Amino acid sequence: MSVLALVSVLYNSNKVLEDFLRSISLQSFKNYHVYLIDNSPSAETDLLIQDVLKRFPLSALTKVKNPANYGVAKGNNQGIELAINDKAEYILLLNNDICFSQTYLFDKLIEYAEKEPIIVPKIYHFGTKQIWFADGKFVHYKGTSRTIGEKIQDTGQYNETGYVDYAPTCFMLINKMVFNTVGLMDEQYFVYYDDNDFVLRAKNKGFKIFYLPDIEVYHKVSISTGGAESLFSIYYLNRNRIYFIKKHYSFPLKQIAFAHTLLTKSIRYLMYDKLRQRQLAKAVKDGFTMNVNKKS
């Protein structure tokens, strides 16, 4: 049994795996178990991991090979369930396009985890001291969320510990009791907005998100999805925003959020080429026709 479980979902992740696994290997805290859920398994990935582990060994590793791309939400759920079955106390959800250099990072997380059920760090854009996340808020009238500090050079202005309204799950330590109370990720999202959904559900159950700026990680943003304007991202970002609004809001906030979303997306539609226009239209249509998952 390991106290700390690390859950990461792989999808075409070979470019980032060495930095990711090395970051874990260098930690002074060793009572952890890594669960890699691979949505794009290949012999190349297996050989890469074997090579990296020879140089940067881990305390314990379980790798699950999915026969198809099940998405981030379901992949996370697979890892969470394995971790809970293995009696882990704390589960760290983290993207594999994350890396970190502080060797005491896990020790610090565990120190605070005894009091705080959900913990997030300060996150930088990779290779810089430009902030990617140092705070976050839900913007309910838009049906979305925003991170605070984006691309601002860090001069210590976000160094105060405290609670935040919203945080992404790309690096989030969660006490297992949170999942027992809130449930798992809503797999209908597949990717994007699954973190908005989970965080809002946790907040509605009375949990707070603790921001710990002493912990610093670096994020290679959107490396596996092609960026926000790829066809993949256009579809899931917009479909899932509609679904999120349907699931969580009621009159009149739901109508306000829908109106804002449709107005801004109509403007974006006019700026797109024909292929992206079709993808955006399909995303909106599918979002409105999705059935709401009431179990998670």
Question: pLDDT (tens digit, 9 = 90+) per residue, 173-206?
Answer: 999 999 999 999 999 999 999 999 999 999 999 9
Q: What is the percentage of the chain residues whose pLDDT exceeds 70? A: 98
User: 4-219 maps to which CATH number?
Assistant: 3.90.550.60
Whether residue 252 has a cis bond before it, omega within 30° of 0? yes
pLDDT grade, residue 225 (50/70/90)? low
The predicted pLDDT at position 223 comes to 53
φ/ψ (deg, to 5) at 124: -105, 155
At 263, list the tokens: 């107005």
Predicted pLDDT at 251? 97
Per-residue pLDDT, 166: 98
Q: 128-141: per-residue pLDDT in tens?
A: 999 999 999 999 99
CATH 3.90.550.60, the chain: domain bounds: 4-219
In this structure, of 54-68, 91-105, 195-209, 210-224, the range with the lowest mean pLDDT score is 210-224
Look at residue 271 and tell me whether its pLDDT is greater than 70.
yes
pLDDT surpasses 80 at 168: yes
Give the long-range contacts of residues 223-226, CB within 8 A, separation 24 or more: 223/15, 223/16, 223/97, 224/11, 224/12, 224/13, 224/16, 224/97, 225/191
Global pTM reads 0.95
User: Can you list the positions of beta strands (E) in the chain?
Assistant: 4-10, 32-38, 61-65, 90-94, 98-99, 118-125, 131-133, 135-139, 144-148, 162-164, 171-175, 209-219
Are 262 and 144 in contact by the 8 Å Cβ rule? The answer is no
Tell me if residue 166 falls in helix, strand or coil: coil
8 Å CB contact between 136 and 168: yes
